[in-house]
Chain A
Amino acid sequence: MIDKKTIEHIAKLARLEITEAEASEYSQQLGKALNHFEQISKINTEGVEPLVTPAEIEAYWREDEARQEFSPEEMTSNAPSKAGNLFKVPPVV
């Protein structure tokens, strides 16, 4: 069980608005899952480099050139709200 305050804090970090019901559901379920996952803490991993890319992939070089593959119209074609080719958003500052 993870306390409600922590759940609310995590939801805020994740920019997720959750309902009261969801909050209590998650506090149960996440608590249960993390409890189970806790078993890895007992493994001795001293000196082991964490693995991120799981296959040997050779580094390669490419020219750092700008490519213009899409028009501004294409790039804004999925905008929920726009003015011309600008995205409409709430005040940011």
Chain B
Amino acid sequence: MDLTKSAISEIAEAVKTKKVSAKEVTTHFVRRAEELNPKLNAFTSFNSSAVAQAEELDSRIARGEDPGALAGVPFGIKEMLCTKGLITNAGSKILQNFVPPYDATVVARLKKAGVVVTGKLNQDEFAMGSSNETSYFGVVKNPWNLECVPGGSSGGSAAAQAARLCAGTIGTDTGGSIRQPASFCGIVGVKPTYGRVSRYGIVAYASSLDQAGPMVSSVKDAALTLEVISGHDDKDSTTSQKKVPQWSKELSSNVKGMKVGLIKEYMQGGLHADVQKTVDNSIEALKKMGAEIVEVSVPMTEYAVPVYYLVAASEASSNLARYDGVKYGFRAEFQNLSAVELEDFYGKTRGQGFGKEVKRRIMLGTYCLSSGYYDAYYNKAGQVRRMIMNQYLEAFKKCNVILSPVTTSPAFKIGERVSDPLTMYLNDIFTTSTNLAGLPGMSVPFGISTEGLPIGIQLTAAHFDEQAMLNVGFALEEASPVKGKTPHVV
């Protein structure tokens, strides 16, 4: 069995039926990660007890116990998610030594299903970035071209998965942070409906937008992983009590009669030629398979980027107020603590602990929430946000799934766009509205640029209708002209 290229479902089946031991699988991926990570910088740390945990799972299997749906599958976890006993730094200096005494619900559920966590994955600091260049722990390289960014903020997850340094990874998505890097690295990334997956134990960025989801190598693997991590959690009152469907069992590539919507406002050009070609090809492929293409209109998406940044920065400035150098995390150095003014204590700690982009967003958010500006910015953005969601709900009366590009271009060069934050923000035009409206969204690889970089297609569905989205994704995956293509490191 070629472990490197095996699907999550194949590995779990082989481990359960003792065709291969969890220890062999874990050892394989740990070695691979240790060998290739210096080139990519995708992992920020490794779990030194991963192999021991795999051995424990093997002995449970030997005793006849049920090891779970993801038995012995090695996963890498984004730094945003708390992992008991393993550093969780959120890509920031301010949390560089933070060792959580508990697991995030997502991580706890994965472990309960038999997953072996092999390490933590690099990301933009506090998930604020679209290129992984804001990480305190260095830039991640795109395995398809080491001079290019892997996307962000879940850049480490995308790069590790594309290079198969683990069998599966978890990312988080606040404005596109799962879908955009998935597109840039040629993997499948799913952001579930808001409320589908618990946020307990996930470092908070913008609480009304954040969701965690799978970043894996196939649609089926994504469905399988999503089943494990979804569902109501007592510890997160914003999780839905809806029953979690068995997406992987219901997965079907039959899209005959399905209505696939194209947003009129997104079809006005301005796309990189290879992205445009990929979108056109995907539409043709779906037509051939019997799907009906319909035009829908969501005119308010024009305002998605401003609304997103106003909401996200405001919530971030409030969420990040907790980093004060008292209970955990970095504290600036003070000679004589008893002579220090409290404001200086906070100011120095936060001034030295946060990076540039994080400070920029805290400043923006604080400004928007400050006296005299709240109504004009945060409140107004919330109102426009509702109008965007309502227009989506109208659009989904006419179609099952909406298809669009993920980004305007394939992965760009490292350093190319860091100097201009606003231009970087405007890249998020196709991904942010999904978060604002709370909808599920995903990226499926469907093209490759003339420079050899992968290009994904974005699919979005109505609230809690992940199945429709996964099915269309599954159909596209089967018809994909880039099926089976992997970066040279694999």
On A, residues with C-beta under 8 Å from B are 2, 6-7, 10-18, 22, 26, 29-30, 32-34, 36-37, 39-41, 43, 45, 48-58, 60, 62, 69-70, 74-81, 87-92
Contacts and interface: CB of A to CB of B under 8 A. Distances in A.
23 contacts: A15-B346, A17-B344, A26-B359, A29-B360, A32-B422, A34-B364, A36-B306, A37-B377, A48-B387, A50-B381, A53-B208, A54-B437, A54-B438, A55-B195, A55-B438, A56-B463, A57-B195, A69-B102, A79-B326, A81-B337, A90-B337, A90-B340, A90-B341
A55 B193 contact: yes
B343 A10 contact: no
A1 to B, nearest CB: 13
B240 A52 contact: no
Contact of A14 (B232, B344, B362): B362
B240 A58 contact: yes
B129 to A, nearest CB: 15
Interface in B377-394: 377, 379-387, 389
A81 B328 CA distance: 9
Interface in B13-61: none
Nearest to A9: B370
Nearest to A49: B386
B354 interface: yes
Contacts of B266: none
Contacts of A29: 360, 421-422
B146 interface: no
Interface string B173-200: 0000000000000000000011100000
Contacts, number: 179
Interface stretch (B93-101, B272-280, B288-296, B479-487): B93-101
B450 interface: no
Contact of B350 (A10, A15, A43): A15
B366 A10 contact: yes
Nearest to A89: B326
Contact of A57 (B238, B342, B376): B238
Contacts of A75: 101
B23 to A, nearest CB: 30
A25 B346 CA distance: 22
A91 to B, nearest CB: 6
A63 to B, nearest CB: 10
B422 A62 contact: no
A50 B343 CA distance: 34
A78 B306 CA distance: 37
B345 interface: yes
Given A53-B208, A54-B436, A89-B326, A45 B421 contact: no
B351 interface: yes
Given A7-B363, A58-B241, A51 B98 contact: no
Given A29-B422, A48-B386, A88-B337, 17 more contacts: A14-B366, A17-B350, A40-B303, A40-B307, A40-B310, A45-B380, A50-B382, A51-B386, A51-B436, A52-B382, A53-B194, A53-B438, A60-B237, A60-B241, A79-B327, A87-B327, A91-B342
